[in-house]
Amino acid sequence: MTTTFLILSDTHDDAFPDPASLAGPGPSKVDVVLHCGDLTMIGGLSNYKRAIANLKAIDAELKLVIAGNHVRATGRGFREIRHC
């Protein structure tokens, strides 16, 4: 059994890969997305909403987000990450 990972960091709101570009010779779905920090540049609900929309566009069984130094760990936007 093979497990595929997509590892991202420092996307700062909108530097996410185009999900269509993830399609290689196999399926475009990955098993695990690991975002290693700096999901947004300054936090704020509008920034989180854009980043969450980008995470939702990636087809993955599990998505893990580690807060970075640009992410405020409080507020409504951060809680919404749990539901993407």
Quote the CA–CA distance of 77 and 44 in Å, as a whole number. Answer: 7
Domain ranges of the chain: 5-17+29-81
Please report the pLDDT score of residue 32 as a whole number.
93
Please report the pLDDT score of residue 34 as a whole number.
94
Quote the CA–CA distance of 59 and 45 in Å, as a whole number. Answer: 23
H-state helical runs in 1-84: 45-56, 76-81
Please report the pLDDT score of residue 57 as a whole number.
86
> What residues are paired with 25 via a beta bridge?
none
User: Residue-wise pLDDT tens for the chain (84 aa)?
Assistant: 889 898 998 888 777 777 667 655 555 688 999 999 888 888 777 888 888 888 888 889 999 988 777 665 555 555 555 555
**Considering the domain 5-17+29-81, what is its CATH architecture?**
4-Layer Sandwich (3.60)
Q: Identity (one letter) of the amino acid at 48?
A: Y
